[in-house]
Structures are given as C-alpha cells and as structure tokens.
Structure 1
Amino acid sequence: MMEKNQINKLVNELITLIEKGNAHVSLWDATAKLPADLRGVVPESLPYSIWQLVEHLRIAQKDILEFSVSSEYKEKEWPKDYWTPAHEQVSDEEWENALNEIRDDQKQFFALLKTETNDLFAAFPWGDGQTLLREALLIADHNSYHTAEIVVIRRLLNAWK
C-alpha cells in the first residue's frame, strides 16, 4: 500500500501531466493566440478543424469526469456523441466557453484526485474495472494526442510559432 505522501506525489504528477503536458505542449499553449478565422478551417486531407478537436476534447473529458463521479453514468454513442459537425465560423464566445469548460472540468477532476477518501486504485463499482488513476491517465493521454493534432493543424495553416 502506498503511503499518503506517495499518493500526494502521484496526484500532483497526474495533475501536472494533464494541465501542463510535461514533455509536450499543453492544450493551453496549443490554442493560445490562434487567429479566430482559423478555428473552423478543415485543412485539405484532414477530417476536422481545431474547433472540432477542442469540442471533442471538451466532450470526452466531461464524459470521463461524469463516469468517474456517478454510478448513474449513461454511456454516449461513439462516434456521434463525441464529435461536433464542422462549421467555418466559431465565435469568440463559443471558443472561450469551450476552453473554460475544459478548465472547469479539469478542476473538478483534480478535486476528485485530491479527495483523500477516493482510492486511486479501487475499481469503480459501476465500471468494468476502471479506476480513478486509469481515468486520470486516460484524460492525459487523450488530451495530449489531440493537442498534438491541434499543433499539426496550426503548422499546416502557418499559424504556429
């Protein structure tokens, strides 16, 4: 059994991984200073825009959070419920609301990780063996994968550093 100090260190590492990316760019860096007119652009030979990726991250992360807190969780239909249709114009309000919701859901998930009564290694009674640790790693992995896609699209659109 891990000591409380070790658990706290693990939780802090998980939070840093999700929030800052460690060895890769964070979502916040990948989306910073993106020209508004490029949010909805779908580059040639790619299936989605940066907006669709941000929305997918928002939806998937919220789904993971909901699964992690509720035995009443209702599974979404893949892929229909996880991807938004393309649209060229994305308002500042839509953009900021999506990014703020991602941040807020991360804060809620971090609170779950920090709650001492939550066992990182215990399987959720309503799942198939998933644990809070597994869900944290899933968020980190999924977000980093799609964040890299955002960077690639920005490069294709000549909108990266």
Structure 2
Amino acid sequence: MPAPPRSLASDDRLRHEVAALLQGRQAHVDARAALGGVPADRVGDRAGGEHSLWELLWHLRFTQADILEFVRSPGYRTKDWPADYWPDRPAPPHGSEWEATRQAFLADLDALVALAETGDLFAELDHAPGYTLLRELLLAADHAAYHLGQVVALRRRLGLWPPDEP
C-alpha cells in the first residue's frame, strides 16, 4: 500500500520537530545551557571520568562539523575514526579556545537547524545514495544528546551544575 501523500502541513510539522530535537530543551538538554558558563580553569578536569569537558566539546564540534560537511559537500572525505574525532589532550592549548570551539559548535548547530527548516529532508544526497538530510539531522541530534548528557553528568561531578542563574 503506498504511503499517503505528504502535505505542506505535515512537512512543516516534521521540520519543526527536527529543529526542536536539534536545539534541545524538551527531553534533551539545551546545548547552550550545557556548554555555557563553564570556568576556563575547569574544562580540562576529568573528575575521574573518561573525558574532560574540553574533550567532549571538541568531539561534539568536530563530529557535528563533519556531518554538516557531509551533507553540504559532494567532495566530502571520510575522516579516520577514532583518531580524527577526539582531541589529543584533556584541555585546550589556549584559554580562548574553549569559547571559540563552543561558538563554532553553536554556529554549526544553527546551520543544521536552518537545513531542517529549509532543506529537502527526503531526497537522497547526490554524492551519497541511500543517505538523506533527514537521516543526517537525526544522527546529529542523537549524537549531541548523548554527549551533552555526558557534559551535564561531568558538570555535576565538578560541582558546576546546575549553572549559576544570570
């Protein structure tokens, strides 16, 4: 039995839901809240865990940028897993790098939300048959939700959660 035709209303609803999933809130932590207000001198502390806040942010930024590149670029080149996807140290080499990386992650997140709101969610990517924008957006949201959960858990261990109210 063929699927019922999609309506403009159902497409708009799907776009809204995917954008909301990417942005967090609802049942997932908001990336801006999870990554905001972290003292620079604490981002390299693992607090007995496997990763520091820096490592988690760096991984989130790199992976999300990789997904964004994959959907945008027919010349996409596969990265080496896991070597390319994790930083080589628990803290950034320069104090300003935490904020620059956080801003880059948030800018790419906004770009993914824009694609959710305007892109063709169901068309296969020309350079990757079988892959759709919808699949990649869901992948990005799922990946971010998992690691942002780790960020919150680590911030709790570090005594940095919940964040101070403005």
- Same fold judged by TM-score > 0.5? yes
2:26 aligned partner: 22
Alignment CA distance shift 1:22-1:91 (3 Å)? farther
Q: How big is each residue's C-alpha offset from its partner over 1:57-107, in whole Å with a ceiling of 9 and x where there is no partner?
A: 000000000000111100100001110022446655212211111121122
Q: How does 1:1-161 map to 2 (within 5 A)?
A: 1-44=5-48, 46-88=49-91, 91-115=94-118, 118-161=119-162
Q: For 2:114 and 2:77, locate their aligned partners in 1 and report how far apart those are by CA, in whole Å.
A: 22
Identity of aligned residues (%): 38
- Which consecutive unaligned segments of at least 5 residues does structure 1 have? none
Q: 1:105-129: CA deviations, max 9, x gaps?
A: 12222232233xx421122132251
Structure number having the greater strand percentage: 2
Normalised to the residue count of structure 2, the TM-score between the two structures is 0.86
Query: CA offset at residue 23 of structure 1?
Result: 0.6
**Maintained 8 Å contact 1:53/1:150:** yes
Q: How many residues align?
A: 158
Q: Is the Cα–Cα contact under 8 Å of residues 56 and 151 in structure 2 kept in the other structure?
A: yes
Q: CA deviation at 1:35?
A: 2.1
Q: State how far apart, in whole Å, the 1-side matches of 2:79 and 2:131 are.
A: 17
Query: Structure 1 runs of 4+ off > 3 angstroms?
Result: 87-92
1:26-82 deviation per Cα after TM superposition (whole angstroms, max 9, x unaligned)? 1211122222211111222x2210111001000000000000011110010000111
Query: Which stretch has the larger CA shift, 118-127 or 57-66?
Result: 118-127
TM-score normalized with structure 1 length = 0.89
Distance 1:5 1:77 in 2: 41
